[in-house]
Structure 1
């Protein structure tokens, strides 16, 4: 036994140092001290000496830079340079365009939670709150979704006028240019509220405040361009759109075939140097009504009018809608959600160089400009739209499930419906937290490239799942379209969110982990940059720092992963209160697991990793749910740790953790190098998988919150349009919940008495008369039951139409002409 003790001390010292990330010199001193203690306590002398020699062989070369750098670092640098996958200019721009926030901590294996929890609570200014309660509320009250989607296929003129007059297109344009100068958080709140009543209206408002001419002009425009266009964009004199996607360049926007040739041409009566554009674009939101079109194209200078470079690269220009050669005005019809969207064509469309966004200095820099602005728009518009729909779906489905009865029982009491309500509640909570987190990051001045892709993908996917469950709970109420239906159009709109701003399949399989593994990793980007430095000495010095920092980090995460797996992450320091501390410990564990998996995958697969899309997608899921769970815990703290929210937080958290383990399991079982996958399984899951989906008991508590007026329900509903007006059937149903609950005891008493009686009345009013006569209910209770019947009918009623109402105008026109001819 005395022979094993020195080696056991060696291993324990290494594990302790790795877990706590102690420096190499500290590890060497600690190990040496333990070996001396072992020897003094009678350990085998030879074994102690062997262990000491091993410590010396490891520590001495690594601690002495004159040995380490030439004999270890330099050869590894040569090997790394060969291993490093080549990056195209496009990939390099995408990787360098964003900033790294707390998501970087999730890759560290040891997140510094103070960085997250010390961030200020996202709050609106007084002016922003007044706008949300004033013009935004008024706009919501104007919405007649049936009129917009079925009758007009457009917003009515008075709504267009209201939107422009109240500067909804200029939410984020600075006040000095006539805009409202609101924050990104306010942009999120406006889109969320509008989306809760109409995705058509939210899209109309969201796009000009997302990626488009205004955003690009604010970041890159010349002073002249800002002065000319921003005031007109702010007050709606100019309606913008941005033309990026074409038939042969969808998600692969760098393959834009649209081109512009530098040449001389006529502009406003003068001969000037400019670009002659040829373009073919589609899916362009607001194109049919736009007056100012931003265009992405590849710029060429075959005659050398600007210099020696012939292929200048992707560039961006502003083109007025009435420019000769430009064709717009026709419309696409996106799944019965008729926001203005259509194609743009152009042949030999001449614009001067002054119409390049940013002027001639920004020619060829369009991809960089798009990458820097895309993540800002992706952080807000689609996540906020999904959040608005999910939150409204949650509270209204809860009310509907309480009001709607089958077999004498509210349908929400059936366990099958309860399961769906629990999913809606948890995902609405998660979506709300995630969308607010990314908007708050933009509001702080960050450019959250990785969180924006996480938010876009997961908010829209969760929004789709919520919408599916909402439709299932509502049954026939959801599928019969008409003015009373508030669920059907949302269901039809979900694939649109999944598709635009990058297809979700590609977002998950290519972007989330593809960007995150390099941009968020604490050492990979530093190693890549160091390996490309021109000065040899500086290259070795900086690579040395990054490489051995990375090695120590990898060893630490391996130890932490195994220890957390062994103990079930029930031991270790963590923030939070008695309720949430266990959640933070679990996230510490999976952060370490993600880091181990990432390092192993990058080391062994190298450049092939970006073609292993299934593996990349699963690791992206781990990163995503770590970020989502972090956002939920931050929201919970910002709300003051309310006990009432615990069922929502717990359901959503356990759902995320289950998905993290599912993703890790899938990655390990399908790891391309099978023996490595087996070894990693023992490291990450020493006792096997333990995380489970949320329990039925927890689901019951979450579902009950949606069917009962309470503070937690109100917090979940915060920011959506629930005013019970004529054009908002969802708001009316939500307003009925308290009255229904108050009437339930009276209804039960009346129905029980009626069942045990021998009265012959069949009509409800006659039965009430008998109930009052027999003393089952009082006159006041009769009024209460009459009101209950009335509001129940309003909640469950669906629309019907004269057959001619459902025929298209084209059909009626054609058959009207034929009928007239037949009569003549």
Structure 2
């Protein structure tokens, strides 16, 4: 034992120093003191000497700058420079376009939770709240989604006029230009509420307030462009669209074949220098009704009219609808969700340089402009749409599951239905927290490149999962379309959000970890930038500082990951109350594991990592769920840590942690360098995978919250349109819940007496009359049961139509009416 003691002290002090990220000099001093104590207490002198030599072998060359710089850092800098994959201009712009918020802490292996919890709760301004309570509420009352999606395939004229009059298209436009000047949070709340009643309406409002002419003009437009266009966009005189996607490059702006040639031409009767455009675009939302088109194209100057550069690069321009040569194609129909969408074409379309967004000064900077604004758009419109649909679907489906009975029981009492309700409840809670977190980041002035992709991907995916489970619970009520159906259109629309603003497959496998590994890592980007410093000595010193910071960071995360795995995260400093502290400790563990796996992947694979999309996707899942859990814990605290919400938080949290372990397991089992994967497994899962999916007991508690009136359910429903009305079947069903719950004891009493009697009444009305006559129920209770029957009928009924109502007007134009066909 005396021989092992010095080496044990060496390892324990090393582990302690790495866990707490102590400086190398501090570790050296502590180790020397520990070894001295071992020797004085009788440990083997030879073993102590060997341990001391090991300590000196590590410490001396690292603590002496000249030795370290010349014998270690310089060769490593030469090697690093050779293996460093070259960054393309587009990759460089993408990395530099965004800012890093709390997601950077999640990559650190030791998140500063206090930094998250100190952020003030996101709140609406008085104007934003008044707009939600007034014009937004009134707009929701106007919505007849069946009329919009089936009968008209468009918003009715009076709704278009209402949107323009109340400046829904100018929510993000500053007040000095006639807009509403709303924050990102205000924008989020409006889109969320509209999406809860109609995704067609929310899309129509969301696009002008997302990536498009207004957003681009606010950031990059010339003063003249702002003065002219922003007031017109704010009050609806101009309806905007933005044309990026084409048939040959999708949304990849760096590969678009659309081009513009710098030349002289005529504009408003004068000969000016401009650009002659040829383009082919499709899937452009609002294109059929747009009066102002934003266009992305590649700009060339073959005659050198603007300078020596021939390929100027991606540029953005504004085209009025009446521009000669601009052709707006016929409408597309996105999965029976008829927001205005269609193609745009142009050949030899001439515009002056003054129509470039930002003028000539921003020619060739379109990729940077798009990347910055796309991060804002992904943070708001699509997550907010998913949140509105998920939250509304959760509370309405919970009420429906209480109202709808099979075998004499509410279907929500069956465990199979409860499993689906638990998923609906937990994911609606998660989507709500994540969408609000990303909106709040933009409201704080951040450009959340990584959180925006996380939010876009996971909100839309969870929204699709919620829509699927809703359809399973409500069955035939969901598949029979008509004015009474509250879920069918959301189910049809769920794949739309999956595909736009970058398809989700690409977002997960390329973007989340691809950007996060460099942008959020505390050392990688600094090391890369150090290699570009012109002065050799300054470059060496800066690289040395970041390299050894990175090495210490990696060792620390290996130790922390192993320790947390051994102890199941039961120890360690963490914020929160007695209920949530364990959650923060778990996230500390997975943060360290992510940092360790990311560092190892970049070290072992280098530039090849960008082609390992399965590995990148799985590590991106880990980062995403860490961010999602952080958002949920922040939301829980901001709402006063309500005990009633704990089942929702716990279900969503355990679901995320389970998915984190599945993602880490998949990454390590399939790691390209197998021995390294085995070693990582020992460090990350020393006791094997331990996280489990949410238990059945927890699922039943989460499901039950949707089926009874309670404060947690009310909080989940905040911000969606639950006002009952003739065009809001979901609102009506939700409004019945309290009365249904109150009537259930009377119903049970009545049904028990009826079964025990010999009364032969067959109709419900006759049975009630007999019940009053026999004294089973009172007259008031009879009325209560009649009301219950009416509410149940409204909740479960579906629509039917005369066959002549179903063919579209287009069918009759092409083929004639049914009567014509019958007599042909």
Task: Report the TM-score, using the length of structure 1 for normalisation.
Answer: 0.99
Contact map agreement 2:169 2:236 (CA 8 A) in 1: yes
Contact map agreement 1:378 1:501 (CA 8 A) in 2: yes
Aligned equivalent of 2:23: 23
1:535 aligns to 2:535 (yes or no)? yes
1:215 aligns to 2:219 (yes or no)? no
Aligned equivalent of 1:691: 691
1:664-721 Cα distance to aligned partner (Å, 9 max, x none): 0000110001111111111110110000000000000000000010000000000000
Paired with 2:21 and 2:177, the residues of 1 have a C-alpha distance of 51
Rate the CA distance shift 1:750–1:161 in 2: closer, same or farther, 3 A.
same
The more displaced of 368-377 and 809-818 is 809-818
Paired with 1:510 and 1:269, the residues of 2 have a C-alpha distance of 48
Aligned equivalent of 1:804: 804
Aligned equivalent of 1:199: 199
1:599-642 Cα distance to aligned partner (Å, 9 max, x none): 00000000111100000000000000000000000000000000
Aligned equivalent of 2:451: 451
Secondary structure at the counterpart of residue 134 of structure 1:
helix
- The 5 Å alignment of 1:482-561 reads 482-561=482-561
1:17-45 Cα distance to aligned partner (Å, 9 max, x none): 00000000000000000011001001111
Aligned equivalent of 1:406: 406
Contact map agreement 1:262 1:302 (CA 8 A) in 2: yes
Contact map agreement 2:815 2:821 (CA 8 A) in 1: no
Paired with 2:818 and 2:569, the residues of 1 have a C-alpha distance of 76
Contact map agreement 1:289 1:329 (CA 8 A) in 2: no
The more displaced of 293-302 and 328-337 is 328-337
Aligned equivalent of 1:61: 61
Aligned equivalent of 2:278: 278
Aligned equivalent of 1:117: 117
Paired with 2:726 and 2:598, the residues of 1 have a C-alpha distance of 54
Paired with 1:813 and 1:41, the residues of 2 have a C-alpha distance of 100
Paired with 2:752 and 2:7, the residues of 1 have a C-alpha distance of 78
Deviation at 1:2, TM superposition (A): 1.1
- The 5 Å alignment of 1:540-619 reads 540-619=540-619
Rate the CA distance shift 1:823–1:524 in 2: closer, same or farther, 3 A.
closer
Paired with 1:283 and 1:300, the residues of 2 have a C-alpha distance of 25
Paired with 2:405 and 2:152, the residues of 1 have a C-alpha distance of 35
1:442-491 Cα distance to aligned partner (Å, 9 max, x none): 00000000000000000000000000000011100000000001100000
1:748-803 Cα distance to aligned partner (Å, 9 max, x none): 01111111111111111011000000000000000000000001000001000001
Contact map agreement 2:109 2:594 (CA 8 A) in 1: yes
Secondary structure at the counterpart of residue 164 of structure 2:
helix
Deviation at 1:57, TM superposition (A): 1.4
Aligned equivalent of 2:746: 746
Deviation at 1:329, TM superposition (A): 4.6
Deviation at 1:811, TM superposition (A): 2.8
Deviation at 1:816, TM superposition (A): 3.9
Deviation at 1:744, TM superposition (A): 0.1
Aligned equivalent of 1:246: 246
Paired with 1:491 and 1:644, the residues of 2 have a C-alpha distance of 30
1:101 aligns to 2:113 (yes or no)? no
Task: Report the TM-score, using the length of structure 2 for normalisation.
Answer: 0.99
Rate the CA distance shift 1:412–1:603 in 2: closer, same or farther, 3 A.
same
Contact map agreement 2:253 2:314 (CA 8 A) in 1: no
Rate the CA distance shift 1:83–1:670 in 2: closer, same or farther, 3 A.
same
Contact map agreement 2:253 2:296 (CA 8 A) in 1: no
Paired with 1:125 and 1:44, the residues of 2 have a C-alpha distance of 71
Paired with 2:68 and 2:813, the residues of 1 have a C-alpha distance of 85
Aligned equivalent of 1:11: 11
Aligned equivalent of 1:762: 762
Paired with 2:697 and 2:238, the residues of 1 have a C-alpha distance of 55
Paired with 1:82 and 1:592, the residues of 2 have a C-alpha distance of 29
Paired with 1:475 and 1:822, the residues of 2 have a C-alpha distance of 35
Q: Count how many residue pairs are aligned between Structure 1 and Structure 2.
A: 824
Deviation at 1:56, TM superposition (A): 1.1
1:333-381 Cα distance to aligned partner (Å, 9 max, x none): 1000000000000001110000000000000000000001100000000
Aligned equivalent of 2:138: 138
Secondary structure at the counterpart of residue 154 of structure 2:
coil
Rate the CA distance shift 1:672–1:446 in 2: closer, same or farther, 3 A.
same
Contact map agreement 1:249 1:256 (CA 8 A) in 2: yes
Deviation at 1:817, TM superposition (A): 7.4
Rate the CA distance shift 1:449–1:823 in 2: closer, same or farther, 3 A.
closer
1:720 aligns to 2:720 (yes or no)? yes
Aligned equivalent of 2:467: 467
Paired with 1:193 and 1:78, the residues of 2 have a C-alpha distance of 56
Rate the CA distance shift 1:766–1:655 in 2: closer, same or farther, 3 A.
same
Aligned equivalent of 1:781: 781
Paired with 1:499 and 1:539, the residues of 2 have a C-alpha distance of 43
Deviation at 1:251, TM superposition (A): 3.8
Contact map agreement 1:467 1:491 (CA 8 A) in 2: yes
Aligned equivalent of 1:150: 150
Paired with 2:243 and 2:533, the residues of 1 have a C-alpha distance of 38
Deviation at 1:47, TM superposition (A): 1.3
Secondary structure at the counterpart of residue 277 of structure 2:
strand
Deviation at 1:815, TM superposition (A): 4.7
Rate the CA distance shift 1:175–1:84 in 2: closer, same or farther, 3 A.
same
1:74-108 Cα distance to aligned partner (Å, 9 max, x none): 11000111111111111111111100000000000
Deviation at 1:253, TM superposition (A): 2.3
Deviating 4+ runs (over 3 angstroms): 813-824
Paired with 1:652 and 1:17, the residues of 2 have a C-alpha distance of 35
Paired with 2:498 and 2:124, the residues of 1 have a C-alpha distance of 29
Paired with 2:476 and 2:39, the residues of 1 have a C-alpha distance of 80
Q: Over the residues paired in the alignment, what is the CA RMSD in angstroms? A: 1.1
Deviation at 1:70, TM superposition (A): 1.6
Aligned equivalent of 2:163: 163
Paired with 2:809 and 2:366, the residues of 1 have a C-alpha distance of 43
Secondary structure at the counterpart of residue 736 of structure 2:
helix
Deviation at 1:61, TM superposition (A): 1.1
Gaps of 5+ in 2: none
1:179-234 Cα distance to aligned partner (Å, 9 max, x none): 00010000000000000000000000000000000000000000000000000000
Contact map agreement 2:108 2:592 (CA 8 A) in 1: yes
Contact map agreement 1:238 1:292 (CA 8 A) in 2: yes
Aligned equivalent of 2:309: 309
Aligned equivalent of 2:638: 638
Paired with 1:523 and 1:11, the residues of 2 have a C-alpha distance of 26
Paired with 1:724 and 1:248, the residues of 2 have a C-alpha distance of 46
Paired with 1:823 and 1:443, the residues of 2 have a C-alpha distance of 63
Paired with 2:112 and 2:53, the residues of 1 have a C-alpha distance of 36
Gaps of 5+ in 1: none
Aligned equivalent of 1:734: 734
